Structure 1
Amino acid sequence: MSNPELYRTARISPLSLKYYGLCLWNGPYTVKLYFSEIVITDDKNYTSLGRRIFD
């Protein structure tokens, strides 16, 4: 991991979750997604179990 600080903070406001892809050419892109669960704890209770499911 080249920048671990990126995985210690989060954007929690819906208004801050806007991303723009300006000046991108049409066509296929390969995107790597990295996730860090810094809010959901690992205490095995109802608030953490099954919160992130990717299908």
Structure 2
Amino acid sequence: MHFTAFLEKSAEILDRVLDADAQRQWYAAMLPRLDEQGRAELSAWVERAGVPAQLS
């Protein structure tokens, strides 16, 4: 739950300072640092939030 709150709050900031491609890169940079649950949570949140294109 705390991670989701972090993502929601950070999205407000990212929308103001980064274009869609840079936002996608910012989220993707987190993936290798997260455990399996964190990766699943991030991927699901990105899909719900409508961040353009897939994270790799």
TM-score, normalised by the number of residues in structure 1: 0.26
Q: Relative contact order (alpha carbons < 8 A, sep ≥ 6): 1 or 2 greater?
A: 2
TM-score, normalised by the number of residues in structure 2: 0.26
Considering fraction of residues, name the structure with more helix: 2
User: Which has the larger Rg?
Assistant: 1
